[in-house]
Amino acid sequence: MRWARWIILLLIAAAIGAVLHYNLPQRDVVRVVETTEIRIDFSAWNRPFYTSGDSGGGTNLDQRDIRFIRTIRPDGRPSVYRNEDTGWFGWPPYFKTDSEDLQTEAGALVSDAESPDWVLVTHYGWRSNPLSIYPNAISIRPVDGPDDKPFPWSNIIVLALLVLAGFALWRLWERFEERVVVPIVDGVLVRWAKLKDWVRGR
């Protein structure tokens, strides 16, 4: 049954990795080509990937106007970001309440291929064409060139803290298991052995 245990551990690790990859900030160097606002029809598949606390959104759960920032990467590939507030109590906890200001900043940074102005977009989330989901832009700022990308210190700090927390929980469980679980299991096994001996008349 060892293989089943490894499969379960791998599935748990994959789930944790997917949650971290979706929620931790990512940074792209891009060129802004357009800012738009489009009405999106939500489905059961893509609704969980859109925030519900956007201060500019309506109360309709099936469709809502979403701000978009359309960009081009240095290699020519398109990259589209939605621009929604996360609010004070939304998840992930970016406390973003300035989506209208961010849309204005992005609009002021629009440039063409002949004289590109490169910007750094900080975002979280995934892009999926089949599901019609987009990463959510958190901030945008000009950079000197397409290779000007900062080191992801924030992600490393968060991951290091999570590793330390996981190690601490593991150590706590080991102590709990040694002091509580093992004595209980041993006591049950001893009683079971005595019961079997009693039944056999020993």
Which CATH number does the domain housing residue 97 bear? 2.40.50
- Write out pLDDT tens, residues 82-108: 999 998 888 899 999 999 999 999 999
pLDDT of residue 1: 58
Q: Residues 139, 185: one domain? A: no
Top pLDDT among 193 and 1 is at 193
Whether 75 has a pLDDT exceeding 90, the answer reads yes
Question: Mean pLDDT over residues 43-60, rounded?
Answer: 70
Top pLDDT among 177 and 29 is at 29
Print the domain residue range for 177: 151-202
Q: 96 with 57: CB under 8 angstroms?
A: no
Q: Of 150, 170, 188, which residue constitutes the final position of a domain?
A: 150
Is residue 17 domain-resident? no
Is residue 48 domain-resident? yes
Q: Residues 109, 200: one domain? A: no
Is residue 135 domain-resident? yes
Is the backbone peptide bond immediately before 92 cis, with ω within 30 degrees of 0? yes
Is residue 20 domain-resident? no
Is residue 9 domain-resident? no
Q: Residues 198, 140: one domain? A: no
Q: Residues 162, 116: one domain? A: no
Is residue 68 domain-resident? yes
Residue 21: count of CB within 10 angstroms of its CB: 13
Top pLDDT among 111 and 202 is at 111
Whether 109 has a pLDDT exceeding 60, the answer reads yes
**pTM: predicted TM-score of the whole model, two decimal places:** 0.79
Please tell me the least confidently modeled range out of 14-28, 29-43, 182-196: 182-196
Inter-residue long-range contacts of 55-58, CB under 8 Å, 24+ positions, other chains counted: 55/85, 55/87, 55/97, 55/99, 56/85, 56/99, 56/100, 57/84
pLDDT of residue 175: 84
Q: What is the count of structural domains for the chain?
A: 2
Q: How confident is the model at residue 55 (pLDDT cuts 50, 70, 90)?
A: very low
Q: Of 131, 150, 169, which residue constitutes the final position of a domain?
A: 150
First to last CA, the chain: 35
Q: Residues 96, 123: one domain? A: yes
Q: Residues 142, 160: one domain? A: no
Is residue 3 domain-resident? no
Dihedral sign of CA atoms 123, 124, 127, 130 in order: negative
Q: Residues 35, 132: one domain? A: yes
Q: Residues 88, 140: one domain? A: yes
Dihedral, CA atoms, 69, 73, 78, 84, nearest 10 degrees? Answer: -20
pLDDT of residue 105: 97
Q: Residues 197, 168: one domain? A: yes
Is residue 6 domain-resident? no
